[in-house]
Amino acid sequence: MNHYTRVVPDFLVESQRNFSSRLAIDAKYKLYDERKIAIGDIYQSFLYAYAYGSNPDTVLPHAMLLYPASGQSSRPTYLHIRSAERQIAAEVLAFGISIPDVLYEVRHGLPGPYSNAILKVIEKEMGNK
């Protein structure tokens, strides 16, 4: 069997406590806080959710789409794909961040509100509340 391609997200976060817990993160460079998220980017994120998700019988497949915000970091948006029975089958969290603010925190070694917000969202998605 020939493989078409490999599916590789921009980032893959794995839990040290639970090795079956993974979060694929797709980084975009589009201002999605000013327009709708492109359908191709949504499809790609759901593919990552299924490719890197845990056992779908026990944990909902999920992924994260991270994009720059034109202003302050935005509130997360949850996107769901539903089965034919209308049950949520996978979830993608779209989250816009203020790049200048995050870079400032990183350069100065400050665990500030923007990097803390990103960490909190990742921890929530990983189930490490």
pLDDT of residue 39 exceeding 90, the answer is yes
CA angle, 56 then 58 then 63, to 5°: 50
Cα distances (Å, whole numbers) of residue 104 to 26, 66, 94, 115, 121: 22, 18, 22, 10, 20
For 115, residues 6+ apart whose C-beta sits below 8 A from its C-beta are 102, 105, 106
* 75 occurs within a structural domain: yes
* 1 occurs within a structural domain: no
Domain that holds residue 38: 22-93
* 68 occurs within a structural domain: yes
Number of domain units in the chain: 1
* 108 occurs within a structural domain: no
* 11 occurs within a structural domain: no
* 40 occurs within a structural domain: yes
- 129 falls in which pLDDT band (50, 70, 90)? very low
- 123 falls in which pLDDT band (50, 70, 90)? confident
* 41 occurs within a structural domain: yes
* 50 occurs within a structural domain: yes
Give the orientation angle of helix 113-126 with respect to helix 99-107, to 10 degrees.
Answer: 100
